[in-house]
Amino acid sequence: MCHREMTTSWKQKVEKKRSQLRSKIPKQWILDEATLEKLKSEKQSLNENLDLLCSKSENEITHSTILILRRKLSCRELTCLEITEAFCHRAALCHQVVNCLSEVMFEQALNSAKLLDDNRPEILPPLYGIPISLKDQCNIEGVDTTMGYVGRAFRAKTTEEESYIVQLLRGQGAILYVKTTVPSSMMATDTVSNMFGLTLNGLNQMFSPGGSSGGEGALIACGGSFLGLGTDIGGSIRIPSSYHGLYGLKPTHGRVPYLRVDNSFEGRELIPSVIGPLAKDLADLRYFMSVIVNICKPWQEDVKCVPYHFDLKELQTSRHYTVGFWFGDGVITPPPSDIRALKLCQDIVNRTPGFKAVNWQPPIELNKELHSIAMEVDIADAGTEIRQEFAASGEPMIDILKPVVLEQCHLPCSVNHWWKLNKRAYDAKTAYRKYYNSFSADERPDIILSPLTLAPFRPGDMLKTTLRYVLFVNVLNFPSLNIPITTIDSKIDHLMDITQAKCAEDEMVMTYWNELISSGDVNGFPVCLQAMSPTYDDNLVCKFGTWLATELIRDRA
Amino acid sequence: MCHREMTTSWKQKVEKKRSQLRSKIPKQWILDEATLEKLKSEKQSLNENLDLLCSKSENEITHSTILILRRKLSCRELTCLEITEAFCHRAALCHQVVNCLSEVMFEQALNSAKLLDDNRPEILPPLYGIPISLKDQCNIEGVDTTMGYVGRAFRAKTTEEESYIVQLLRGQGAILYVKTTVPSSMMATDTVSNMFGLTLNGLNQMFSPGGSSGGEGALIACGGSFLGLGTDIGGSIRIPSSYHGLYGLKPTHGRVPYLRVDNSFEGRELIPSVIGPLAKDLADLRYFMSVIVNICKPWQEDVKCVPYHFDLKELQTSRHYTVGFWFGDGVITPPPSDIRALKLCQDIVNRTPGFKAVNWQPPIELNKELHSIAMEVDIADAGTEIRQEFAASGEPMIDILKPVVLEQCHLPCSVNHWWKLNKRAYDAKTAYRKYYNSFSADERPDIILSPLTLAPFRPGDMLKTTLRYVLFVNVLNFPSLNIPITTIDSKIDHLMDITQAKCAEDEMVMTYWNELISSGDVNGFPVCLQAMSPTYDDNLVCKFGTWLATELIRDRA
């Protein structure tokens, strides 16, 4: 096939795919030009504007929580169909503005909802009638999983290919109605592809939704979903959560089953991708986890899952807790908003009887080593696999993949080099653990609170941000929960002093922050921190999140 | 350095190392030529012959168990020094016949024992005064870890390099007195190296001790140790246990800490090497595991360890248990001795109320795929790393490594190929789990009993055996316990019908069996089976082992 044919062909496929997607949105939900224009121009008011386009009862549903709707379903105050319709409608509207959906399954979803209503069981399954959105990677029978690649379009998945988690969700009564956009290959923290174009931030359309679970983040933030599944190999759950003020849990590997979920670099197990929930409500997130873990016992089918119990209890206030505060890695200076958020939490910890705040300050060289391992892992195959995916359709490489798709002259590394990289990762993890154990028993942090994304970025500016507070957590395989703390306020979150920059990267990040603050566009943007614990302590991370969120609400009141 | 110098040099190093090793055995324990000759010629009576060379009190100690000696230490019936001396003496004698030690630390051990006696604490630590032998890979301060490589000699390990498990053992009061031989690189199931030469089987010197924990197996079988640590990446704990009628536990990965234990292919995590105990007594083995797991909580320092509790309870006879019996993989026909052992166990299961025997018969293609993945993993770097180790000293490559050290024209595979191999392994493990789940709940085996080594082999004949009942367990990461069932009896374990062979490999194995049976040399050789459970069910495997062993003793009585 000559190059020209190939070019025509991939563009045609894109056209066909996009038009199919649009055709699955019922006509009455298609926005007219004027409304669409208004929604797109009022960049920070999408949620409020969407409320005006939905009925009062729809808004009541989409602004509710899983646990509340479950009670309403239980006492027949609502039907599965009503709930599903409300979410399909909202998701359709949201998508037309921020372009967050990759697959629309409204028809199937509404049919499933009717079926559930018509065959209502005595005891409602734990996710009965609850719509759950899915990152594009999740395979559903009869539906594409493109992961943003044109070459993967129009190859609907078979029953055998369906993701185990999809089967579990359906088995628990959940309604599957949409899949959400990702950057091609998922190896980027913006959300753009030749296939679907650019996804925008749902809270502030001047900014990126983050990635790679960017479509998920935007959809949930706009009320188009309560809770969706994302994956995280380098921040892909946490970053979109952070950029939308959501709770996002990157669990320890082996908590939520990844079996038959498509991915890049399958079999690259040095830094395993994990799958986990993004949600507006932390109680919903924890409920969801308890269903998937305690009820579904996924280790019975997915050999990568570890037997485990997900705990719904609260922190035992009778116990002593230590919280480590990380004010910086010694390479990149966190912005004033993050420092303010950390201090706000430190005050809360300090005022709470039985709680203690300590400084978390791992050796700078160790922070650098963990980050550099992550970077080397990402370029281990020099982009071979991703390049093949693009070549399959002839679509052009996209800019945001430049960090992982090297020039053609680079070769994939040998297996010996790869094993050495594994060993380096083990050594670095061991050293990190050693630093952790260097604290005396009553000063050793149960939880570490750390910066995460530092600042939002505008579409196209991904490479002006840093992943230095993100990737090390994937190397360590620590559970990490993104927690919304406050919002950016340019009156108090001042410009940074670039002359104090520690290195070129630090200067780049500071300069970008100053531009954002000067523009005023970031006012009101969420400021989030991540709460981490050593591997396997997912329960502690979630309990701490609930406690902190409650204290933050009390503070605001 | 010219080739000739190199040659001289490695031979000199071997000479020096062997002479140092010998110099560490007290003169009074050196056997005279005549005695040595007799011990070497009476190939099936080493244990009895060693008894005659040791005092009655020494024999009482070395034929005892950890749990009994712990009681005697507790009521001051014995001292740590008496116990240590008895084991050092016996190990020294055993070594002179079967060549099972790579490092001798008698002086340090006796000093430690004295120190423990002189500073006897109120409450005795769990391994107080108990000698534990170690496979050569374990690093001890001031001691070499050669792994059979000449190039690694005379590079004593530093404090920082000491294995975490060594520190734990010492911390629990254990006496470290010997390290045991391995085949160079450990990637073979015989025990031979240019450095230390050949290790022989301790029960029957006509045969190999197996490998790679061959020195451990021989030493324990001859009473030179109760319990030692081995490692298993392809049978290396189970095979020497099988060839010496010992209990050997290959735990699930992450049970016993591997931190700072030297190994080949460090960072090759697709089939992880695991570390675990070989022991004469199963109660000792389980006690040891409970100490390392429950008391030491190794996950606090070794990030590869998983939090877990090791259970010392017995099988609940109130419960229903299903045991799967695997009479063959469809490729290699197990010998009559294994079939007899399986039927013996099946009879026991069938006669026990609440127990049920089922046939375990995974698809032949799946058995083949698991085996072939293991083989491909072993040659992934075409022998690059091992070749470098040999080149470091100029020592010649040894024959038993031919299966993993390919001709120089082969290159290490690329990281993309490696990831695909990882994915294949995950797919095969998933398919195996699917077969497991295909049994109805009350027919799904708690335990699978399977052949393991099939038959012993004579030194030099390693390549006439098969690992088809061994390697798949490493791919699956199933816990597996080697259990002695009976012994070979050429009167009932007849010749096999070679015309019935299913393939060339089957014919080779059958032919070898027939030679062994015809020679009569295998009479009395242990017949063992492995008891496996799905990943993480180590407790169940051990409890089942105790139950089965008790029933077998009852049968014999």
Does residue B549 lie in a domain region?
yes
Residue A7 has pLDDT above 80, yes or no: no
Rounded Cα distance, B123 and A395, in Å: 72
Number of H helices, E strands in chain A: 18, 13
CB contact at 8 A, B451 and B469 = yes
Q: What is the largest CA-CA distance in chain B?
A: 72
Residue A4 has pLDDT above 80, yes or no: no
Residues in chain A with CB shorter than 8 Å from the CB of B301 are 430, 433-434, 437
Q: Are B280 and B373 members of one domain? A: no
Q: How high is the pLDDT of residue A1?
A: 44
Q: How high is the pLDDT of residue A5?
A: 57
Q: How high is the pLDDT of residue B190?
A: 98
Number of H helices, E strands in chain B: 18, 13
Residue B94 has pLDDT above 80, yes or no: yes
B416 CA: distance to closest CA in chain A (Å): 7
Contact B416 A381 (CB under 8 A): yes
Contact B306 A268 (CB under 8 A): no
Q: For residue range A528-547, list pLDDT tens digits in order.
A: 999 999 999 999 999 999 99
Model ipTM? 0.96
Q: For residue range B155-182, list pLDDT tens digits in order.
A: 999 999 999 999 999 999 999 999 999 9
Contact A418 B266 (CB under 8 A): no
Q: How high is the pLDDT of residue B434?
A: 98
Which of B387, B406, B416, B426 is best to mutate for the A interface (most A CBs within 10 A)? B416
Q: How high is the pLDDT of residue B7?
A: 63
Q: Are B227 and B366 members of one domain? A: no
Banded pLDDT at B302 (limits 50, 70, 90): very high
Q: How high is the pLDDT of residue A408?
A: 86
Contact B381 A414 (CB under 8 A): yes
Does residue B307 lie in a domain region?
no
Does residue A26 lie in a domain region?
no
Q: Are B452 and B547 members of one domain? A: yes
Q: Are A238 and A116 members of one domain? A: yes
Domain C-terminal end among A266, A300, A334: A300
**DSSP SS3 for A198:** strand
**DSSP SS3 for A74:** helix
Q: Is A212 a catalytic residue?
A: yes
The answer, yes or no, to whether the previous bond of B236 is cis (omega within 30 of 0) is no
We report the CATH number of the domain holding residue A378 as: 3.90.1300.10
Q: Are A82 and A189 members of one domain? A: yes
Banded pLDDT at A405 (limits 50, 70, 90): very high
Q: How high is the pLDDT of residue A207?
A: 98
Does residue B310 lie in a domain region?
no
Q: For residue range A298-319, list pLDDT tens digits in order.
A: 999 999 999 999 999 999 878 8
Q: How high is the pLDDT of residue A317?
A: 76
Does residue A27 lie in a domain region?
no
Sheet holding A101-104, edge to edge: A101-104, A175-180, A131-135, A227-232, A274-279, A247-250, A480-487, A526-532, A447-450, A321-325, A355-359
**DSSP SS3 for A43:** coil
By Cβ distance, the residue of B300, B381, B424 closest to A415 is B381
Strand ranges for A114-158 from DSSP E: 131-135
Rounded Cα distance, A504 and A452, in Å: 19
Contact B415 A419 (CB under 8 A): no
Name the residue of chain A whose CA is nearest to B428's CA: A303
Does residue A315 lie in a domain region?
no
Q: Are A397 and A433 members of one domain? A: yes
Q: How high is the pLDDT of residue B155?
A: 97
Q: Are B81 and B223 members of one domain? A: yes
Alpha-carbon dihedral A376, A382, A388, A391, rounded to 10 degrees: 120
Q: Which of B194, B188, B180 lies closest to B208 in space, CA to CA? A: B188
How many CB atoms sit inside 10 A of residue B76's CB?
Answer: 8
Banded pLDDT at B397 (limits 50, 70, 90): very high
Banded pLDDT at B463 (limits 50, 70, 90): very high
A422 CA: distance to closest CA in chain B (Å): 5
Q: For residue range A507-520, list pLDDT tens digits in order.
A: 999 999 999 999 99
Q: Are A287 and A336 members of one domain? A: no
Q: How high is the pLDDT of residue B6?
A: 60
Does residue A216 lie in a domain region?
yes
Lowest mean pLDDT among A301-305, B297-301, B322-326, B553-557: B553-557
Residues in chain A with CB shorter than 8 Å from the CB of B306 are 306, 536
Q: Are B226 and B343 members of one domain? A: no
Tokens of B289: 């595991």
Tokens of B453: 């080594």
- State the burial class of residue A379 (Cβ atoms within 10 Å of its Cβ: 0-12, 13-18, 19+): middle
Query: What percentage of chain A has pLDDT greater than the value 70?
Result: 99
CB contact at 8 A, B456 and B204 = yes
Q: How high is the pLDDT of residue B457?
A: 98
Contact A412 B415 (CB under 8 A): yes
**DSSP SS3 for B373:** helix
| Cβ-proximal residues to B198 (8 Å cutoff; 6+ apart), any chain | B99, B191, B192, B459
Q: How high is the pLDDT of residue B408?
A: 86
Contact A301 B437 (CB under 8 A): yes
Alpha-carbon dihedral A157, A163, A167, A170, rounded to 10 degrees: -80
Domain C-terminal end among A300, A334, A368: A300
Cα–Cα distances in angstroms (integers) from residue B428 to residues B361, B366, B477, in the given order: 15, 7, 12
Annotated binding site of B for substrate: 186, 212, 233-236
Average pLDDT, chain B: 97
Query: CA-based angle B389:B391:B394, to the nearest 5?
Result: 120
Q: Which of B204, B212, B216, B206 lies closest to B246 in space, CA to CA? A: B216
Residue B506 has pLDDT above 70, yes or no: yes
- Count of domains forming chain B: 2
Domain C-terminal end among B266, B300, B334: B300
Which of A262, A303, A308, A424 is best to mutate for the B interface (most B CBs within 10 A)? A303
Residue B357 has pLDDT above 70, yes or no: yes
Tell me which DSSP letter residue B449 carries: E
**DSSP SS3 for A172:** coil
Q: Are A268 and A366 members of one domain? A: no
Indicate the angle between helix axes A538-556 and A282-290, nearest 10 degrees: 160
Q: Which residues of B touch A (CB under 8 A)?
A: 259, 265-270, 299-304, 306-307, 380-381, 384-385, 411-424, 426, 429-430, 432-434, 437, 476-477, 535-536
Mean pLDDT calculated for residue range A448-462: 97
Mean pLDDT calculated for residue range B372-389: 97
Rounded Cα distance, A358 and A354, in Å: 13
Cα–Cα distances in angstroms (integers) from residue B80 to residues A113, A459, B132, in the given order: 73, 71, 13
Rounded Cα distance, A38 and A29, in Å: 16
Q: How high is the pLDDT of residue A477?
A: 98
Q: Which domain holds residue A47?
A: 42-300
Rounded Cα distance, B427 and B445, in Å: 21
Mean pLDDT calculated for residue range B187-197: 98
Q: Are B289 and B328 members of one domain? A: no
Q: How high is the pLDDT of residue B1?
A: 44
Q: How high is the pLDDT of residue B103?
A: 98
pTM of the model: 0.96
Does residue A10 lie in a domain region?
no
Which of A299, A370, A419, A446 is best to mutate for the B interface (most B CBs within 10 A)? A419
Chains A and B form CB pairs within 8 A to the count of 110
Query: What is the number of residues in chain A?
Result: 557
Average pLDDT, chain A: 97
By Cβ distance, the residue of A412, A423, A430 closest to B267 is A423
- State the burial class of residue A27 (Cβ atoms within 10 Å of its Cβ: 0-12, 13-18, 19+): exposed
Quick one: how far is CA A156 from the chain centroid?
Answer: 25
**DSSP SS3 for A448:** strand
Tokens of B370: 């698991």
Contact A269 B270 (CB under 8 A): yes
Residue B379 has pLDDT above 60, yes or no: yes
Q: Are A418 and A522 members of one domain? A: yes
